[in-house]
Structure formats: C-alpha cells, structure tokens
C-alpha cells in the first residue's frame, strides 16, 4: 500500500519535470535559431512618423482605381496622399525621390492570415493562434499581436504592407484585426479592429473510410458532431441577442442591471451589422448552409476559403456575399475535379459578378501573395482584376477602402516602389512607405542571403 502511494506521489512530479524540461529545450532551440541565423550587424527598427513632405517623381503610377499615369508624381505629407498626377507642383523644401523607370503601387493586402499570432509552428511558446474551448467571440487578434515577429519584415519586403490577422480554432474563433506590418507595439500595428467575427463552419459532408488527416469516426458520430456544432452557433447568437436585449432594457425604470459578459459584448457589433461574420467554408453544402443561416440571423456575411464558391456563384451574386478566396496554389479537393480548379476559380467568380479577393492564407508564405494572383491571371482572370484582387477589393471587403487599396488624394500613403509588375516573380521592391513612413526593407531572408553569399565567394589567390 505504501509503495503504491509513493508511486502516485511521484507521477505528478515527473510530469512537472517533463513539462519544464520540454519548455526549456524549446526556449533554447528558439534562442539558438535567433542568435545564429543573422549577421551580427542585423537590426530591425520601426520607422518614425513622417515629419516632412515627400514627393515620388517621374514614376509610372498605378492608381488601381483609375488610369495608369506615366511620368507622374505622388506627393504625401503627414501620412496622407495630398496630390497625385502629372502636373503636381512640388514646393521647395519637399524631399524629392526620383523614381524614373520604376512603378508606384498601393500596398498589397492579404485578407486572411495569422501574421503576428504565430512565429515558429514547432515552438508552442511562439504560437498564440487560439484559445481553449470552441466558443470564443471575445478573443481579439490585436491583443495578441507580436510586433517583433520576423515574418512581418519578410512579408512587407515584397510589397505586402497590410494583412488581416485572424484568430483560429474552435467553432467561433474571435475577431480579426487589419494590421500594418511595422510598429513598436500592437496598437501601432493595428489599422482597424475589430474587422469581423470569424466562424469555422462545421463539416457538412460525411467522410467514409480511413483518412491520414482525420481520426476514424463512424457516420453516426460525424452526424452527431455536425449537429452539435451547428447548434452551438445558433445558441451563441440566441444568447447574444438575449443579452443585447437585456442590456438595452437596463435604461428603463425598474429593470435590474444585467451583468456584463465580454463574450456577448463582442457580438453586439455583429448583431448591429457594424462588422460582418467571416465564415470559413469551402464545400458547397457548407457555403449554402452558411448563406441560409446568415439570412435567418440577418447579419452581414463574408465567405473565406471558398473552394466551391464558383459552384454557387449565382447564390453569392444574388445575396451580394463577397468571397475571400484562397489559396490559389493548392491541389483539387476531389479526385474528379479538374487539375486547374483552384487556379481558375477567381476567373469564374469574376465572370459571375461575385465580389472577391485573393489571399495566400499561409502566414509564413504571405510574401507570395502577388504570385497567387498571378496564377489566377494565368488561368483567365484579367490582369488588372488580379491586381485589384490583392489591393482594392480586399480593402472594400474589409471596410477600409476609404483609406487604403488604391492611390488617391486623401488616402493613406501606404505604397511601394518596384522595378516592374509585382505579379512577376523577378520584380524587386525598392522602397516601401506605410502611412508616409519610410520602411526598412531589411529582413531575415535578405540577411541570410548576404551571409551565405559571402561564404561561397571564390577565393582569389594574391598576386605576386
């Protein structure tokens, strides 16, 4: 008896030791990776606010919302574009940057990422993607952002200066934040929050047989789980509406105070149609069910993922429901789908008149966003529409088109200068501005390139 008790007392201790040992090893791996990956002189300092007027002169300006202007000028001050065109007068004292032979574009926007919420997938301490539990409408992405993430400089070096940071996990994941990829604090990173409430729609298809990706479940278990998750969504919105009604009734005489609940408070902007619900749905049945649910709840809906969106394009067009489609670079979901189904979907959505934008979806590869759009263009999407799908259209869907997404007077001076078309992989970004602040384009990838290019330089024998 005493021997058994002794073992029972030791088990928790061993588990504690195991936990802290694992945590220590993970921390050492992260520290070693950071300390050895960079040249010793590598630094990354956020840019200070714009303190003087800047004019980009003699460049080809792609406004996106209007015509392309040759030999034009973009003038910006205090973070805002003040003038744009061929005949802009540049006053004495304004910093002139000659961009002859180069192209000026508005910042690219990735509308579905986890940037700022994850660093290294294998190191759990660097992941802040999701909370425990399945119903977390009160989770706010902007509260968990990591301004020191190395993924931000890598991404913005390719012209992607804005991204929607989205919480993950559960059925209702929380609210997203549109972030600028430079700043000292999470507050400085945030351009708009909350942008929308994010829901992972339950699977509507019964999977039969074994799968490498899914634990084997009986058809009955799958149907039960599907029903329970759908009911959780309905119950959550019913509870939020009841809470909203109770809080509004507090203003009346004789009505008792109702305790504040952060979960339901986060959902009031959704119920008031101030922000939309972003539903992650790829299959036909998921999309159709989500559209019907949104109509029943009388809320604004945006579909994310949207693999099968082209199959229900008429429904989405009739309901004016936008789609954040992506990634384009993926395999067909079904054996009988054409190989180019993921590539051609943006073209089909465009032809059907469905509002959409394109996302890369993977934070570690968000820098490749323009190449997702380029593939869509190669498979039928008009090239000017492909550019809009990663600039103006995401700005419209996310509710910030009055500030970003195109080059117009009065909008934020969030733009970049490149030596060619950003949809071409050979194009290099030479300058980037976020709200008029000139951003350092140094990043981990560039530092490693410079480091190892020196290592493999040929050795030249000294001359006699």
CATH top-level class of 108-404:
alpha beta
User: At CA 386, angle to CA 421 and CA 368, rounded to 5?
Assistant: 65
pLDDT in tens, 143-176: 999 999 999 999 999 999 999 999 998 999 999 9
User: At CA 233, angle to CA 228 and CA 239, rounded to 5?
Assistant: 115
Fold of 37-107+405-455: Urease, subunit C; domain 1 (2.30.40)
With b meaning 16 or more CB within 10 Å and e meaning fewer, what string describes 410-420?
ebbbbbbbbee
Say if residues 128 and 136 touch (Cβ distance below 8 Å): no
Tell me how far apart the alpha carbons of residues 152 and 444 are, in angstroms, rounded to a whole number: 10
Q: What is the mean pLDDT of the chain?
A: 89
pLDDT in tens, 177-198: 999 999 999 999 999 999 999 9
Say if residues 190 and 213 touch (Cβ distance below 8 Å): no
- Nearest alpha-carbon partner for 423 in 463, 360, 375, 358: 375
Tell me how far apart the alpha carbons of residues 138 and 79 are, in angstroms, rounded to a whole number: 32
- Nearest alpha-carbon partner for 258 in 270, 272, 244: 244
Of 8-12, 251-255, 383-387, 412-416, the poorest mean pLDDT is in 8-12
DSSP annotation string for 384-450: HHHHHTTTHHHHHHTT-TTTSSS--TTSB--EEEESS-TTSTT--EEEEEETTEEPP---HHHHHHH
Q: pTM here?
A: 0.87
Average pLDDT (268-279) is 97
* Per-domain residue ranges of the chain: 37-107+405-455, 108-404
Percent of the chain with pLDDT over 90: 71
């Amino acid at each position: 008896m005493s021997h058994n008790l002794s073992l029972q007392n030791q088990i928790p201790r061993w588990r504690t030791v195991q936990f802290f040992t694992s945590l220590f090893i993970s921390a050492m791996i992260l520290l070693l990776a950071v300390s050895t990956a960079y040249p010793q002189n590598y630094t990354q300092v956020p840019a200070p606010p714009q303190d003087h007027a800047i004019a980009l002169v003699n460049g080809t300006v792609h406004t996106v919302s209007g015509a392309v202007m040759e030999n034009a000028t973009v003038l910006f001050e205090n973070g805002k574009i003040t003038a744009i065109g061929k005949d802009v007068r540049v006053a004495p004292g304004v910093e002139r940057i000659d961009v002859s032979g180069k192209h000026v574009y508005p910042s690219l926007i990735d509308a579905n990422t986890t940037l700022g919420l994850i660093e290294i997938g294998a190191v759990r301490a660097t992941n802040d993607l999701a909370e425990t539990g399945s119903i977390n409408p009160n989770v706010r992405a902007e509260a968990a952002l990591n301004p020191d993430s190395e993924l931000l400089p890598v991404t913005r070096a390719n012209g992607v200066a804005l991204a929607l940071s989205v919480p993950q996990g559960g059925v209702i994941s929380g609210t997203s934040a549109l972030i600028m990829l430079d700043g000292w604090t999470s507050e400085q990173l945030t351009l708009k929050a909350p942008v929308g409430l994010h829901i992972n729609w339950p699977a509507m298809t019964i999977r039969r047989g074994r799968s490498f990706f899914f634990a084997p479940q009986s058809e009955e278990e799958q149907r039960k789980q599907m029903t329970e998750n759908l009911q959780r969504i309905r119950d959550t919105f019913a509870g939020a509406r009841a809470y909203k009604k109770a809080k509004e009734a507090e203003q009346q005489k004789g009505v008792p105070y109702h305790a504040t609940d952060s979960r339901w408070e986060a959902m009031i902007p959704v119920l008031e149609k101030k922000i939309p619900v972003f539903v992650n749905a790829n299959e036909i049945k998921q999309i159709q069910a989500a559209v019907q649910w949104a109509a029943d709840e009388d809320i604004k809906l945006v579909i994310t993922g949207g693999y099968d969106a082209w199959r229900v394009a008429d429904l989405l067009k009739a309901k004016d429901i936008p789609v954040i489609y992506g990634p384009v670079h993926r395999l067909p979901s079904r054996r009988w789908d054409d190989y180019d189904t993921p590539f051609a979907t943006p073209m089909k959505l465009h032809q059907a008149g469905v509002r959409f934008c394109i996302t890369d979806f993977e934070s570690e590869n968000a820098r490749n966003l323009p190449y997702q759009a380029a593939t869509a263009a190669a498979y039928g999407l008009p090239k000017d529409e492909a550019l809009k799908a990663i600039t103006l259209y995401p700005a419209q869907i996310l509710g910030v088109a009055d500030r970003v997404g195109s080059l117009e007077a009065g909008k934020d001076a969030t733009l970049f200068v490149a030596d060619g078309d950003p949809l071409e992989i050979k194009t290099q970004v030479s300058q980037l501005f976020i709200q008029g602040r000139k951003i350092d384009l140094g990043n981990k990838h560039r530092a490693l390139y410079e480091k190892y290019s020196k290592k493999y330089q040929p050795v030249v024998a000294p001359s006699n």
